Structure 1
Amino acid sequence: MDRNVIICRSILENPAVTQRDLSKELSVSLGTVNNLMKECIEKNYFVIESKNDSYTLLPAGQALLDRHKVDGALIIAAGFGSRFVPLTFETPKGLLEVIGERMIERQIRQLHEVGITDITIVVGYLKEKFEYLIDKYHVKLLYNPEYSHKNTLTTIYHAREVLRGRNMYVLSSDNWMRHNMYHAYEGGAWYSSSYMEGETSEWCLDYNKKGRILNVSVGGCDQWVMYGPVFFSKSFSEQFLPVLEAYYNLPGTEPFYWENVFMEMLSGEAARKLPQLPEANLEPEMFINRRPAHEVYEFENLEELRRFDIKYQHTSDNQAMKLISQVFHVKESEITEIQCLKSGMTNKSFLFKIKDCRYICRIPGPGTDLLINRKEEKAVYDALAGYGISENVIYFDGETGYKISEFYEGAHNADPHNQEEIALCMDIVRKLHQSGLKVDHSFDIRERIDFYENLCMTYGDTLFEDYNHVRKQMVELLDKLDSLNHEKVLSHIDPNVDNLLILPSGDIRLIDWEYAGMCDPLMDISMCAIYSYYTQEETDGLMEIYLKRKPTGEERFTVYAYMALGGFLWALWAVYKASLGEEFGEYTIIMYRYAKNYYKKCMEITDM
């Protein structure tokens, strides 16, 4: 860190700055400041105006500053912010307001105040929400296509050309700084740091007398930690970016933060992993920038934000939070222990607590209004009420699909390869089929295939190369099933193990009835099989468990046919969802293989 730059900068910003002020800014003694001032005067960086005890910056001092001018800022805003669910289901974390101002806008404004206007924002999740900033602040947006499954190492990788050869701030969109800590000039690379008393899980810093960071360790006690903004100097980026690029291509670094790379450079681990890189590249020079208490904030969750900004104790302006408040007749501040659950393939859900009870709130995912009839789903829940088959639903909106249900403490999903658990699950499926319950709508797989096919065609998605051939095979199966004319009963349609809960008592709950309707009951067996990625042998075993006997040839044909049709249907579903920006990896191919393979198996059955 060039301390002379900091002194010249302070004089430029305030000609009447005192040595005590500089001592605080540099975190050094008054004696050290006095020696630094003498050195700067000898180099003709500034002179002392004795008549008013102020300083005048000289051309040499300005030239020094010009070599350390900040070129711009990179703001990281690609992530989801799972600890701020449900707010971040609607709004990226950086766009949340704190004391009446959006966090990212506060940082942009602070940058503008010191003349930094070249700002690039790396976006990913809900990227469209940031578009307005282009017009309002003339920022640039850079999209990170890997934001959903990789960490900030990847974010910096995609933005590396924005940083290369430039002096740049690297900021997080969800930081909040009480005072403006940015400057037009910086003396070297630094990482903002706050002091944490007691045990902490933050990234702790070891540094030498000059403030150079020597080591980073995760977790510690009574230490200065990485907290808030960072500054990448040209020289730091020159060392750091080649290493980060190499790490990007190393297997297993997908969950890495960019700080993991820096940490391993300091520890020597990077030298071990990358022996081909010059040793000079592996000795990065970055300094600690110790900040006063209560200046930098990284809000970890909604509870912290509530304590800081009283507004969030009353209203978050979030639809789900408002709904919960109304349903349970409580203030939003009484909704606690909010936790993001793994997003389903159709919906988003989160766990929350009111008083001593926990519940799950389901929010329909994008595009589901086209795929799911919520009034029909509500009719199924109404029919099931009191039968001990489905989850206990506290609230259901047949228009929006918002659902609040009881959370079962200690419950677990069934294991598709545990025969005892699968037997219990088939008991509840059989109970449903034999219940005599009826609703006014059916699940028509022929109609659903036509529907999803039209959606895919409308959105211009390329279907499979042999689609037309396989489509004719599916029609053949549909016609054969129609001729069998099996009785229709209330069926779940989606009885995969993620929707089968085993309670501590041993009771079973079949949850999430979005596709349920009157249907051939054997379709439930088929869907359970393909969702569990069962082999033919495992599927035959599942039929025996459900039927409590060996299946007939017609029953085997029916289950195999619905497996083929179900695979075809859900492959189309996944293609359509991909057009909305949601990817499900190999799921699409696996489902399409079920369509083709089980059509062949149907053709092999002769004992019908």
Structure 2
Amino acid sequence: MSFLYPAHIATLQSLLLSHYNSHVTDVYKLSKGMTNHNYKCVLDNHEQVIVRLPGNGTSLLINRHDEYHNLCAIVPLFINVPLLYFNADTGIQVTRFVTELPETDHTGSIFLQAATAAMKKLHTAPVRFNNRFAAMSMIRQYYDITCQYDIALAPAFAAMLPVLERIAEEAEREAPGICPCHNDPVPENFILDRRYRCYLIDWEYAGMNSPLWDLAAFSLELNLSVSQEQYMLQCYYGPAAIPAYTCRVMQSYKILQDMLWYLWSMIKVHFHTDYFAYGVMRYNRGLSMLSSGDFLPPHIRLPETVVPV
């Protein structure tokens, strides 16, 4: 068995023995995932499962009861990997291991087509999630956590909140109605198997939201070029015309996403997970997007960007 945190190994062994009557023969810590600790476990019956153990501070950031409700709601869609166990009080989850297609090109046409099809299937499903994922509510919630724990932020962040509020309000006026959304469609949360079936995993932030939030996040996380983003949108909308407001609203959401995940990163840093450089990158990029468009009133000056130390 590979060397891992002893406490984590004990938890894995106890959980899988009590619920599956199986002993763990080997464990591999997965590099995927920024929020939690994820382990691939091989059992003595040769079954392979993925066990998620929540990371530090996640109870402040995630409602596991909402997550479980939403996971149950999407079961008929068959877009998540099979869920074997979920504890809404601890956040521990067990899913079946799915063999991923090796060396997936996340900006290639095959992946973009499969991923956008999975998102559209979710967005158009007759499903209602238990919660609303509203950008500014989340930003305010995370900002309040930073104040509660005296977490240092960029000096100008508090002054930017009214600007972000206005951007969010304008985006919601322009964007279509809400639907079930994943809200964290980073490339690592898509699994393309050997039969080119696409699974969407890690539903911690799922909630009712604008579908353009998912499309904006997907493009931002993949750092798609203008032409690649256009291809993604063509895959999503098919023969229908892409709504005129799409790119403008997506740009607004990208700014809000960078600022939201900047706060998330600083909270994780406080709880001893070193995402400082990542958080600063997101803050600086968000500021850059703010300055490159007409999002700011003329009388407001942008603060200087933060430099990682």
**TM norm structure 2:** 0.87
Larger RCO, structures 1/2 (Cα 8 Å, 6+ apart) = 2
Residue 552 of structure 1, CA deviation:
3.2
Query: In the alignment, which residue of structure 2 is the partner of 1:396?
Result: 86
Query: In the alignment, which residue of structure 2 is the partner of 1:582?
Result: 273
Counterparts in 2 of 1:407 and 1:372: CA distance versus 1, 3 Å: same
CA distance in 1, matches of 2:291, 2:71: 37
Counterparts in 2 of 1:536 and 1:588: CA distance versus 1, 3 Å: farther
Query: In the alignment, which residue of structure 1 is the partner of 2:6?
Result: 87
Contact in 1 for aligned 2:129/2:208 (Cα 8 Å): yes
| Amino acid in structure 2 at the alignment position of 1:397 | N
Counterparts in 2 of 1:565 and 1:379: CA distance versus 1, 3 Å: same
CA distance in 2, matches of 1:587, 1:487: 32
Counterparts in 2 of 1:410 and 1:582: CA distance versus 1, 3 Å: closer
Residue 581 of structure 1, CA deviation:
1.5
Residue 445 of structure 1, CA deviation:
1.3
Query: In the alignment, which residue of structure 1 is the partner of 2:205?
Result: 515
The structure 2 residue matched to 1:327, chosen from 2, 14, 19, is 19
CA distance in 2, matches of 1:510, 1:413: 17
| Amino acid in structure 1 at the alignment position of 2:218 | C
CA distance in 2, matches of 1:410, 1:537: 27
Contact in 2 for aligned 1:529/1:539 (Cα 8 Å): yes
Query: In the alignment, which residue of structure 1 is the partner of 2:305?
Result: none
Residue 484 of structure 1, CA deviation:
3.2
| Amino acid in structure 1 at the alignment position of 2:197 | D
The structure 2 residue matched to 1:481, chosen from 171, 183, 197, is 171
1:184-239 Cα offsets, whole Å, 9 max, x none, are xxxxxxxxxxxxxxxxxxxxxxxxxxxxxxxxxxxxxxxxxxxxxxxxxxxxxxxx
Contact in 2 for aligned 1:86/1:350 (Cα 8 Å): no
Contact in 2 for aligned 1:470/1:596 (Cα 8 Å): no
Q: Secondary structure at the match of 2:245?
A: helix
Contact in 2 for aligned 1:414/1:422 (Cα 8 Å): no
* Greater radius of gyration (CA): 1
Number of positions where the alignment pairs a residue of Structure 1 with one of Structure 2: 293
Contact in 1 for aligned 2:133/2:209 (Cα 8 Å): yes
Query: In the alignment, which residue of structure 1 is the partner of 2:51?
Result: 361
1:30-55 Cα offsets, whole Å, 9 max, x none, are xxxxxxxxxxxxxxxxxxxxxxxxxx
The structure 2 residue matched to 1:567, chosen from 226, 243, 258, is 258
Name whichever structure is richer in strand by fraction.
1
| Amino acid in structure 2 at the alignment position of 1:328 | Y
Residue 519 of structure 1, CA deviation:
0.8
| Amino acid in structure 2 at the alignment position of 1:518 | M
| Amino acid in structure 2 at the alignment position of 1:567 | D
1:250-293 Cα offsets, whole Å, 9 max, x none, are xxxxxxxxxxxxxxxxxxxxxxxxxxxxxxxxxxxxxxxxxxxx
Contact in 2 for aligned 1:415/1:422 (Cα 8 Å): no
1:69-91 Cα offsets, whole Å, 9 max, x none, are xxxxxxxxxxxxx92335253xx
Alignment map for 1:135-284 (pairs within 5 Å): none
Q: Secondary structure at the match of 2:294?
A: helix
| 2:86 is aligned with 1:406 | no
RMSD of equivalent CA atoms: 2.2
Query: In the alignment, which residue of structure 1 is the partner of 2:63?
Result: 373
CA distance in 2, matches of 1:508, 1:361: 20
Residue 426 of structure 1, CA deviation:
0.5
**TM norm structure 1:** 0.46
Residue 431 of structure 1, CA deviation:
0.8
Residue 477 of structure 1, CA deviation:
0.5
CA distance in 2, matches of 1:454, 1:596: 21
CA distance in 1, matches of 2:104, 2:124: 22
Contact in 2 for aligned 1:557/1:602 (Cα 8 Å): no
Query: In the alignment, which residue of structure 1 is the partner of 2:236?
Result: 546
| Amino acid in structure 2 at the alignment position of 1:438 | R
Residue 435 of structure 1, CA deviation:
1.2
CA distance in 1, matches of 2:189, 2:103: 7
Residue 412 of structure 1, CA deviation:
4.6
With 374-383 and 435-444 compared, the bigger mean Cα shift is at: 435-444
Moved over 6 A (4+): none
Query: In the alignment, which residue of structure 2 is the partner of 1:24?
Result: none
CA distance in 2, matches of 1:327, 1:587: 37
Alignment map for 1:10-25 (pairs within 5 Å): none
Alignment map for 1:281-296 (pairs within 5 Å): none
